Amino acid sequence: MLLFKEKSFKMKKIILLLSFLCFTLFANEKYLILADGNSWVAHTPKNFIENHDKISKLPFSGFVVVGDTFTNKCMKKGSILKYENVWNELKGLKKLYKQKHNFLQINIEFAADFWNDNAWKTVSDNFAIVAKAAKELDFEGIVFDDEPYSVSAQKMTNFKFPTRDEINKKPKKYTSWEKQGSQQAWVDKNAYRNLNYTFLQHTQKVQSRFKNIMSAMVKKYPALTVLVYLGPSLSHPNSNKDYPIVINLGLARENELHGAIFTGLKQGLGTLSSLHDMGESYKYRKNKHFGYAYQWRKHNIAKDKYNDSLNPNFQWVVPKNERKTWSEEIQIGFMVFNKGQKSTYEEYDTINTSGINDIKSTLQKALKYSDKYVIYYCHDQEWLLPQKNPPTKQWIKMMEDVHDKH
C-alpha cells in the first residue's frame, strides 16, 4: 500500500511537470486568422469545400466561415434555427482543413424587445445550435460581429434618449438622467428604448440576455472560444481619456450597449471557454498604439478610477462586481486591415502607411501584443476567391514570413 502511494505521488508530480511544460510551450502561441472582406461567397462553406486545395495552402492559422442558415438568421427577429439545416450546410468542412483555428460567424441583429423572454430564449437556443455545430466540426468557436450594419441592428447598440430639442421644449416631462443623457437627434436616430424602463435597467437586461446566450453555447461546447469584433471600449466614455488612440469609431453615446453585451458574455463563461475582445480598429501602426490599446482593454477599462466617476444612470460603466476578474477572464486580440484610412487624429491616419511593408510590420506588432488571435481583414485582395485581384507573390511571401514566425 505504501509503495502504491509513493508511485501515485510520483505520477502526480510527473503529470504536473508535463502540464507545466505544455503550458510553457503553448502559452505564447499566436494565431493569424483570415477574414476576407470582398464577398459573402468567399467565406461560405461551399467555397471552402470547392477550393480546398488552394485555400488549405494559404499562410493562415484559420478562417472565418459564414453560412446562409445561421450567420444573419441567428438573431433575426422571429428566426428559429434547426440544427439539421445548419449542419447540412457545414458538414462538408469536417476534418477537411489542416488549419484548426476556424470560426463560425454570427452577425448582430435586433431580435426583440429586451424584456421579451420567449424571443430571447429562442435567440439563446439559436446561438447554442451554432456552437454545437462548431464543436462537431472541431472549430475553435464563434466570431460575433457586433457591428450593427442594418437599421434594425442599430437598436441593439444604442439607447433612445430624448433629444436636446425635446428637452428644451418640454423640460418638465423628463427626468434628470434623461436630461443628462440627451444628445443631438442624429445620435439617437436608430436607437431603441422600452419606455417602461430606465437606461440602467436596459444595460442590465441586455447583460443578462447575453449571459444566457454564452451559457447556452458553453453548455453545448464547454471549450468554446468567442471572438467579439468591436468589444466594449466603444461604450466607455473614458476609452480615449489618457491617450486618444484606442477608439476612433463613433462616440460612446452611439454605442452604449456594446459594453453590456460583452459583459454578459463574460458572465456566461465556463471554466474551459474563453472570450476575446478584438477591439476592431485598423489605425494602429506603432508599438505604443498597440501597447496602450492593450493596456486599456485588458486592465484600465475595469479600474475603479475610470468607472467610479461615471454615472451609470446614463453612461455605461463596467459593473463593480466584474472589475476584479476582468483582466483574468478577458483575452485581447487585434485586427489589421490592408486599406489605408483617413482620421481626425493625424497619428491615426493610415493612408500613407498601408503598403506591404507597413502591413507586415503592423501584423508583427499585432501578434506581439495580442493574447492569442489576430485577424487579417482585407478588401480588393482576394485570398479565398481569387478571381479578379488575387494577392501577389510578394504579399503571399510576406504573409508566410509573418505566419511562420508565430
- Residue among 123, 125, 45, 51 at smallest CA distance from 89: 45
pLDDT reading at 18 higher than 80: no
**Domain annotation covers residue 349:** yes
Which of residues 388 and 17 earns the better pLDDT score? 388
Q: Give the per-residue pLDDT at 169.
A: 96
Q: Report pLDDT for 187.
A: 82
- Number of folded domains that form the chain: 1
Question: Would the pLDDT of 12 be above 60?
Answer: no
Average pLDDT, the chain: 91
For residue 142, which phi and psi values (nearest 5 degrees)?
A: -120, 135
Pull the grid cell for residue 222: 464547454
177 domain-assigned: no
Question: 3-state DSSP call for residue 101?
Answer: coil
Q: Does some domain include residue 263?
A: yes
Of residues 363, 370, 349, 352, the one with CA closest to residue 395:
363
Is residue 21 in some structural domain?
no
What is the domain extent for residue 265? 29-158+196-404
* CA distance linking residue 100 with residue 60, whole number of Å: 10
Mean pLDDT throughout 115-132? Answer: 98
pLDDT, tens digit, 9 for 90 and up, residues 128-186:
999 999 999 999 999 999 999 999 999 999 999 999 999 999 999 999 999 999 988 88
Domain contains 184: no
User: Which DSSP string corresponds to 314-363?
Assistant: TS----HHHHTTHHHHEEE-EEEESS----SSGGG--TTS-SHHHHHHHH
Number of H-type helices and E-type strands within the chain = 16, 9
Residue 81 is assigned to a structural domain of this protein: yes
pLDDT digit string, tens, across residues 187-244: 888 999 999 999 999 999 999 999 999 999 999 999 999 999 999 999 999 988 876 6
Nearest in space to 139 (alpha carbons), one of 221, 73, 51, 30? 221
Average the pLDDT over 253-278 and give the result.
95
Which residues are registered as beta bridge partners of 275? Answer: 226, 330
Q: Is residue 134 part of a domain?
A: yes
Query: What is the mean pLDDT of the segment spanning 304-319?
Result: 96
Q: Which pLDDT score is estimated for 247?
A: 67
Residues paired with 35 in a beta bridge: 377
290 neighbors 365 (Cβ within 8 angstroms): yes
List the strands of the sheet with 274-277, edge to edge.
Answer: 330-332, 274-277, 225-228, 141-145, 103-107, 62-65, 31-36, 373-378, 334-337
Residue 297 has pLDDT above 80, yes or no: yes
The residues, ordered by sequence, that sit 6+ positions from 346 with a Cβ below 8 Å of its Cβ are none
| CATH label of the domain that carries residue 52 | 3.20.20
- Tell me which amino acid residue 56 is: S
- Give the separation between CA 246 and CA 390, rounded to whole angstroms: 32
- Dmax over CA atoms of the chain, in Å, equals 86
* The three grid cell numbers given for residue 45, joined into one nine-digit string: 462553406
Cβ density class 360-384: b for 16+ within 10 Å, e for less: bbbbbbbbbbbbbbbbbbbeebbbb
Q: Which residues pair with 144 in a beta bridge?
A: 106, 228
Q: Is residue 2 part of a domain?
A: no
Q: Which of 356, 330, 331, 352 is nearest to 341 (CA)?
A: 352
